[in-house]
């Protein structure tokens, strides 16, 4: 039997910290207002006057993941990069990361499933590994949100949520008969419902309208993220528990069997509601949002790395992850670390 496992994890955030108080210089907001609604205290943003981009953060996280896995970069057969903040419209950011890693020739693909992108990515990697087409895959979630946000009072409801960062895992194929304690990716479940695509999106620029794609009259604030927060909260707190239970049921596991829950970090209030509905003890949920904000595709690998470094995640532990985001998309993963 062929199965896949995580060989190593790494993460990176830019050094500049923006506290909630710092944001008050840009917009009408307050530390109390942000923390009450989101649980966020600070986030990391790249230097706004620099050329630092998503593939730069992805590179740093990838190098750290390779070191943790004790894998040489030349052993990587495939790069999968999840992001909603690409370096350029095209080609994919995975190709820019591949160039910076100096790994010409191997395939590189981008995943555009936003907050669920990392779980979609490891699910794709899992299939390639189990089919024996590849032996080692680098899966990365990376974002530079800060350069694409409306940093005025008009955009504050969205802007206060997001941070920049990257997380990466090296996944490898193993052969044998795994038992209950074998480190491996047990399952993933993926879902989407495009009927809600416009509840969380960036309307412009786009091709879904008459006339030139970059017509100046279309840039009236619609080039920034738009979100129906109430709808997102309602569906996130419904779909995350559902897909989490889907993973556990398929594996014959219960919530009590899980040692640690590492959820996507969109809003602390969402994760608290999910945990409350499922009666998950607070000490079993690992959150990073207060320090990093929502780093979208990077939140789960960033959380895994932080949990490892803090000693909360140890070898042999059963971990469950779930995510919900734009699309709408939602997904879960169950794995033995």
pLDDT tens across 120-135, in order?
999 999 999 999 999 9
Q: Which of 136, 155, 175 is the last residue of a domain?
A: 175
**Exposure of 309 by Cβ count < 10 A (0-12 exposed, 13-18 middle, 19+ buried)?**
exposed
pLDDT per residue as tens digits for the range 172-215: 999 998 888 899 999 999 999 999 999 999 999 989 988 898 88
Q: Which of 140, 175, 210 is the last residue of a domain?
A: 175
Whole-model pTM? 0.97
- CATH number of 63's domain: 3.40.47.10
Q: Do residue 114 and residue 217 come from a single domain?
A: no
For residue 332, what are its two tokens? 């879960």
Residue 180 CB contacts under 8 Å (≥ 6 apart), including other chains:
none
pLDDT per residue as tens digits for the range 17-40: 999 999 999 999 999 999 999 999
Q: Do residue 132 and residue 226 come from a single domain?
A: no
Q: Do residue 90 and residue 6 come from a single domain?
A: yes
The residue annotated as part of the active site, out of 53, 264, 267, 271, is 264
Q: Do residue 218 and residue 125 come from a single domain?
A: no
Residue 246 confidence (pLDDT) above 90: yes
pLDDT per residue as tens digits for the range 80-115: 999 999 999 999 999 999 999 999 999 999 999 999
Q: Do residue 136 and residue 189 come from a single domain?
A: no
Q: Whole-number mean pLDDT of the chain?
A: 97
Query: How far is 224 from 208, CA to CA, in rounded Å?
Result: 16
Q: Do residue 124 and residue 203 come from a single domain?
A: no
Q: Does residue 95 carry a catalytic annotation? A: no
Can you say how many angstroms the Cα of residue 248 is from the centroid of all Cα atoms in its chain? 21
Q: Does residue 294 carry a catalytic annotation? A: yes
Average pLDDT over residues 298-311: 98
Residue 294 confidence (pLDDT) above 90: yes
pLDDT at 99: 98
151, 29 contact by CB (below 8 A): no
Q: Do residue 6 and residue 71 come from a single domain?
A: yes
Q: Do residue 104 and residue 217 come from a single domain?
A: no
Query: How far is 125 from 136, CA to CA, in rounded Å?
Result: 9
Question: What share of the chain has pLDDT > 90, as a percent?
Answer: 93
Q: Which of 151, 175, 199 is the last residue of a domain?
A: 175
Q: Do residue 119 and residue 216 come from a single domain?
A: no
**Exposure of 234 by Cβ count < 10 A (0-12 exposed, 13-18 middle, 19+ buried)?**
exposed
pLDDT at 180: 86
The residue annotated as part of the active site, out of 115, 187, 267, 287, is 115
Q: Do residue 206 and residue 317 come from a single domain?
A: yes
- Give start and end residues of each alpha helix (H) in the chain: 20-23, 31-38, 54-69, 93-101, 117-130, 156-159, 229-251, 268-278, 289-292, 299-310
Q: Does residue 115 carry a catalytic annotation? A: yes
Average pLDDT over residues 324-335: 98
Count of structural domains within the chain = 2
Average pLDDT over residues 216-223: 86
Q: Which domain holds residue 197?
A: 184-336
């Amino acid at each position: 039997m062929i199965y896949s496992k995580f060989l190593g994890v790494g993460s990176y955030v830019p050094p500049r910290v923006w506290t909630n108080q710092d944001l008050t210089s840009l917009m009408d907001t307050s530390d109390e207002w942000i923390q009450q609604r989101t649980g966020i205290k600070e986030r990391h943003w790249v230097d706004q006057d620099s050329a630092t981009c998503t593939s730069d953060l992805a590179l740093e996280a990838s190098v750290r993941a390779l070191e943790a896995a004790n894998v040489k970069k030349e052993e990587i057969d495939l790069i999968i990069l999840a992001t909603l903040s690409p370096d350029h419209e095209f080609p994919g950011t995975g190709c820019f990361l591949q160039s910076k890693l100096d790994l010409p020739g191997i395939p590189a693909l981008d995943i555009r499933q936003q907050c669920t992108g990392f779980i979609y990515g490891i699910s794709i990697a899992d299939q390639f590994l189990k089919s024996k087409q590849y032996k080692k895959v680098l899966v990365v979630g990376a974002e530079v949100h800060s350069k694409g946000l409306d940093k005025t009072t008009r955009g504050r409801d969205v802007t206060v949520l997001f941070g920049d960062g990257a997380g990466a895992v090296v996944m490898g194929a193993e052969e044998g008969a795994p038992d209950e304690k074998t480190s491996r990716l047990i399952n993933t479940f993926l879902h989407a419902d495009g009927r809600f695509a416009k509840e969380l999106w960036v309307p412009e620029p786009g091709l879904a309208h008459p006339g030139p794609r970059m017509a100046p009259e279309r840039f009236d604030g619609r080039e920034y993220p738009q979100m129906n927060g109430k709808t997102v909260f309602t569906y996130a707190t419904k779909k995350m528990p559902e897909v989490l239970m889907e993973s556990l049921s398929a594996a014959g596991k219960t919530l009590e069997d899980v040692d640690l829950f590492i959820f996507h970090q969109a809003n602390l209030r969402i994760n608290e509601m999910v945990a409350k509905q499922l009666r998950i003890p607070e000490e079993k949920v690992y959150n990073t949002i207060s320090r990093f904000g929502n780093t979208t595709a990077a939140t789960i690998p960033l959380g895994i790395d932080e949990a490892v470094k803090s000693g909360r995640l140890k070898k042999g532990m059963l971990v469950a992850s779930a995510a919900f985001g734009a699309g709408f998309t939602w997904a879960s993963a169950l794995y033995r670390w």
